[in-house]
Structure 1
Amino acid sequence: MRAIFPIVTVVIVAIIGVIVFHLLSFPMPWMLGSLFGVLLTQLIWKIPMKWPVMMRNIGLLIVGTAIGQLFTFNILIAMKDTLLFMFMLNIVLSLFCLAMAYLLKKWARIPFATAIIASIPGGLSQLVVFAEEQKDIDVTVVTFFHVIRVLFVVGLIPIIVSLTGEVPGAPAQGSSNLLHNLSLILLGLLLLPIGKKLRLPVPHFLTPVLIGLLLSLFKVDVDPMDGHLLHIAQLCIGAYIGLLLHPKSLRLPVRVLIGGISSAILLLVLTFFIAEGMVFFFDLDFATSYLSTAPGGMDQMGLIATALQADATHVTIFQLFRMLFIYVIILPILKWKILK
């Protein structure tokens, strides 16, 4: 019973947060309400709270399945015109992060290697694991920087997009079939070991996305994702993110805390202006452009895109390209030249 109580506490707090955000008419209440409800409760009251990774993974399977239903090879072919832009975008982001790491080293007195890994906008879990494998990297600082970035990106971008008044309207959809949706989610779960064996980044998210792509290839009709399942996914992921910032994380030196917050804000501002340029050059809506360039995780940006009715497939491709760019090009260069 004691093991269940912390989980039940998170569920109750998350639902209260959802209700409050609904009453205040805030965007994405199921995700942001649960996130901030859990986050504030954890920071203010010392009560046991726990959220199994399995719950987050369930949310990722649902979101991956929903986005996989939208994926087609025609979309991938159409994206070839943006390949050069994606490549240049990631070079700009990498150079910006390198400059930011240099400033952090000077001002916050963080070792340069730690500052670089803390500044790169890759996946939270993957970069923390990478940091743990290196010598002379302060994993606590790296974790704090990436957690703060996730909180700022997930917490602020839906609000920023809503304030622009450019949230796309919901597309016309057919009726959803709950049993059909659950069958696809179960299929993603059964094929998950293959995704892990292929070393897919965020396999709980990308495995069902690729399944949707294959179903599209074989002309298999799929029903749109049930809205209630998407709400469950948002709550599962929102509660998990809300628990990432532990009170002990705030015991770092003040300069490091300010550096983490400042770097997150600077990346949000930079990608905001890049997104504005994408709206002009590629004729995209602002929500899709911002979520495509934002320094968040592929799974989180995909979830927000689905909730805001942005082009989730476009967002996922951009975020996947950035993740591959970081892991295939940037990290090997850093390991070769700097992380010795």
Structure 2
Amino acid sequence: MDDVVMYLRGLVPGRRAVFALTIGALSGWLAALSGMPLPWMLGPMIGNTLAAVLALPVRGPDRLRPLVIPVIGVMLGSALRPEMFDTAGRYAASLALLPPFLVVTALVSYAVYRRVGRYDPVTAFFSAMPGGLNDMLILGGAAGGNEKRIALAHAARVLLVILFVVLFYGTALDVDSGEVARGAPAAALSLLDWALLGAAAVAGVPLGKWLRLPAPQVTGPMILSGVLHLVGLVSVAPPGALIVVAQVVIGTVIGCRFIGVSAAQIGRDLSLGALSSVAMIAVAVVSAAALTAITGLPLSLSFLGYSPGGLTEMSLLALAMGQDVAYVSVLHLVRIMLVIFAAQPVFRATRRGAQSGTKPPRSGS
């Protein structure tokens, strides 16, 4: 019993985390008033990034994140409809173009961090990989890279790619706003709905881990929720209030990743991240245009599928923009899996190649 009490106490945010969440909530409210897409995530993200730059006493509510991420997974699963899979053949071309897209994206990003940023080869390699922050941080740290720079590089990538994608959608494309992203009124859910959606959130996490899926906290609940909605056992999304809370926590955590870094270092890393993100987005636009020409998919959908942001964030954007969540989620799942499984072997192969190429010639040869 004492262990349970201690665990629950550990989930209660400290004063700095509460302050960060307060900034996040206020920033989200202002973003919603301004009409910004996905305001309850982007607002807290921007607000807490500024708070970190100004060295305000904020701290990311990291222990709350695993609790709210399953809510996002359940929400994403509630957007799945049987008709989405009627044209599943389009996945083949999209997946076939994904590996060369990732290679080119990683190469241009590596050039930015190595040639412009003057990062060491290990740090530049794992900073450039368009994969998960936690996974690249673990692999990069084990390989001897600068963990703080790797973390900042990926935090900047997620933050800036989201902002660039929102800007792109807001100015260049005509898309409809998704209804599911706003959630359902709590009164619209029956007791059975609450029970089934809650079970999807709770049981989905161990399912995702058992299946060894990337980001199991979101993918597992998304799969279970999707199944429940596809078979008709549930027809509503999670309550809108829970979705807002989850997005505020996620946005606050992303913004607070810049805590403890000097303003000059944040400016430098964000500048490098911006340059890298622009290069990645350029590759994504070209790849999406090629995919659209081949398959006839809308550019808005193919571009979102190839945008190198986080799985959770890109899926949320797809939902908020009225796009095909299943398609976008599948592409980002495969992207993250490819990067995670290929990063370390490719790194080792390139290191062996570099070392063998710099060996001095044997005497007499």
Q: Normalising to structure 2: TM-score of the pair?
A: 0.80
Distance 1:306 1:228, change over 3 A: farther
Percent of aligned positions with the same letter in both sequences?
21
Counterpart of 1:27 in structure 2 is 37
The alignment of Structure 1 onto Structure 2 pairs a total of residues equal to 338
Q: Is residue 25 of structure 2 the alignment partner of residue 12 of structure 1?
A: no
Counterpart of 1:92 in structure 2 is 101
> Aligned equivalents of 2:270 and 2:79: distance in 1?
40
> Aligned equivalents of 1:279 and 1:212: distance in 2?
30
Matched position secondary structure for 2:261 = helix
> Aligned equivalents of 1:103 and 1:127: distance in 2?
17
Amino acid at match of 2:201: G
Distance 1:100 1:69, change over 3 A: closer
Distance 1:26 1:195, change over 3 A: closer
> Aligned equivalents of 2:130 and 2:312: distance in 1?
14
Distance 1:255 1:30, change over 3 A: closer
Residue in structure 2 matching 1:152, options 157, 160, 169: 160
Distance 1:35 1:107, change over 3 A: closer
> Aligned equivalents of 1:208 and 1:233: distance in 2?
14
Q: Which runs of 5+ in 1 are unaligned?
A: none
> Aligned equivalents of 1:160 and 1:269: distance in 2?
12
Amino acid at match of 1:288: L
Q: Is residue 50 of structure 2 the alignment partner of residue 40 of structure 1?
A: yes
Matched position secondary structure for 1:54 = coil
Residue in structure 2 matching 1:238, options 248, 251, 266: 251
Alpha-carbon contact 2:81-2:229 (below 8 Å) kept: yes
Residue in structure 2 matching 1:79, options 88, 95, 99: 88
Alpha-carbon contact 2:127-2:150 (below 8 Å) kept: yes
Counterpart of 1:50 in structure 2 is 59
> Aligned equivalents of 1:112 and 1:330: distance in 2?
14
> Aligned equivalents of 2:317 and 2:256: distance in 1?
19
> Aligned equivalents of 1:304 and 1:323: distance in 2?
17
Distance 1:75 1:261, change over 3 A: same
Distance 1:208 1:312, change over 3 A: same
Amino acid at match of 1:160: F
> Aligned equivalents of 2:37 and 2:169: distance in 1?
9
Q: Is residue 185 of structure 2 the alignment partner of residue 177 of structure 1?
A: no
> Aligned equivalents of 2:21 and 2:113: distance in 1?
38
Matched position secondary structure for 2:64 = helix
Counterpart of 2:78 in structure 1 is 69
Q: Is residue 336 of structure 2 the alignment partner of residue 323 of structure 1?
A: yes
Matched position secondary structure for 2:213 = coil
> Aligned equivalents of 1:301 and 1:243: distance in 2?
19
Alignment of 1:1-340 (within 5 A): 4-47=14-57, 49-71=58-80, 75=84, 78-102=87-111, 104-134=113-143, 136-170=144-178, 176-177=188-189, 179=191, 180-181=193-194, 183-215=196-228, 220-248=233-261, 250=263, 252=265, 258-338=271-351
Distance 1:70 1:27, change over 3 A: closer
> Aligned equivalents of 1:260 and 1:245: distance in 2?
13
> Aligned equivalents of 1:295 and 1:228: distance in 2?
28
Amino acid at match of 2:161: V
Distance 1:83 1:248, change over 3 A: same
Residues 271-301 of structure 1: CA deviation (Å, up to 9, x unaligned)? 1333344444444444432221111111111
Alpha-carbon contact 1:181-1:223 (below 8 Å) kept: no
Residues 227-248 of structure 1: CA deviation (Å, up to 9, x unaligned)? 3332222212111111112241
> Aligned equivalents of 1:275 and 1:104: distance in 2?
24
Amino acid at match of 1:319: H
Larger deviation, residues 171-180 vs 243-252: 171-180
Shift of 1:5: 1.8
Q: Normalising to structure 1: TM-score of the pair?
A: 0.86
Shift of 1:37: 1.4
Shift of 1:334: 2.4
CA RMSD of aligned residues (A): 3.1
Matched position secondary structure for 2:248 = helix
Alpha-carbon contact 1:71-1:213 (below 8 Å) kept: yes
Alpha-carbon contact 1:145-1:260 (below 8 Å) kept: yes
Alpha-carbon contact 1:185-1:208 (below 8 Å) kept: no
- State the structure with more CA Rg: 2
> Aligned equivalents of 1:72 and 1:23: distance in 2?
31
Alpha-carbon contact 1:287-1:305 (below 8 Å) kept: no
Distance 1:308 1:253, change over 3 A: closer
Shift of 1:155: 2.5
Distance 1:36 1:235, change over 3 A: same
Amino acid at match of 2:348: K
Larger deviation, residues 207-216 vs 164-173: 164-173
